[in-house]
Amino acid sequence: MNQAADSKASQQDLDETDIATVNAFYRREIGFLQSNNFEGWLDILDPDIHYQVFTCVTTKPGDSPGSMPGEAYYYDDNLASLTLRTKKLRSSMAWTESPATTRRYFLQTLDYGIEGDEISVCSNLLVLTSRGDQQENQFCGERNDRFSRHADGLKLLRRNVQLDKVIVVDRFLNTFF
């Protein structure tokens, strides 16, 4: 799933302005997610967003952890389903958010690439969550993003997340990666 090697050939086409724009996008996105501003987060998604968080599968000794795309996902969403998820978190029915979940995002960009008019980014991701006094979770893995260019800036077009854990123990899984 690592796209870092695939983007090496086109990396020289990505200039400092594009890199700064991507980094600004990530700062803005993290700000929205950490403050539970899901409406703001939805606004920076492309209308054709495809958002996937794969389950991690290791099939035999010696295999590297990975996913079997098309087999199972924690998330396999488009803009409509992401909008429904965020509305649920805002509703009075979201007992999983009482008290609200605190989230902290840490992102390490590994590689940038460009393909046509789209920018691709491969990153390491760590998300720490806590709710109340006793429930804490951490999620780490690799995130591959693809951005489309719009008049008002970059929009997230694709996100593929491969979590490192085979079993996610979060009882609520109410975190966007």
Quote the strand ranges of the chain, DSSP E: 45-54, 73-77, 102-115, 118-131, 135-150, 153-163
Residue 104: give the domain boundaries: 4-163
Mean pLDDT of the chain: 84
Encoded tokens for 56: 């991690």
Q: Is the dihedral of CA 89, 153, 13, 49 positive or negative?
A: positive
Helix (H/G/I), strand (E/B), else coil: 113: strand
Q: Is residue 143 part of a domain?
A: yes
Q: Is residue 45 part of a domain?
A: yes
Q: Is residue 171 part of a domain?
A: no
Q: Is residue 62 part of a domain?
A: yes
Total domains in the fold of the chain: 1
> Which has more confidence, 71 or 170?
71
Entry pTM: 0.82
Greatest mean pLDDT range, 60-69, 111-120, 131-140: 111-120
pLDDT tier at 88, thresholds 50, 70, 90: confident
pLDDT tier at 59, thresholds 50, 70, 90: low
Q: Is residue 57 part of a domain?
A: yes
CATH of the domain at 158: 3.10.450.50
Q: What is the pLDDT of residues 90-131, one digit of tens each?
A: 776 766 666 778 899 999 999 999 988 899 999 999 999 887
Cα atoms found within 13 Å of the Cα of residue 104, Cβ hemisphere only: 7
Q: Is residue 111 part of a domain?
A: yes
Q: Is residue 174 part of a domain?
A: no
Name the residue with tokens 């990153």: 123
Say how far apart CA 143 and CA 125 lie, in whole Å: 6
Q: Is residue 172 part of a domain?
A: no
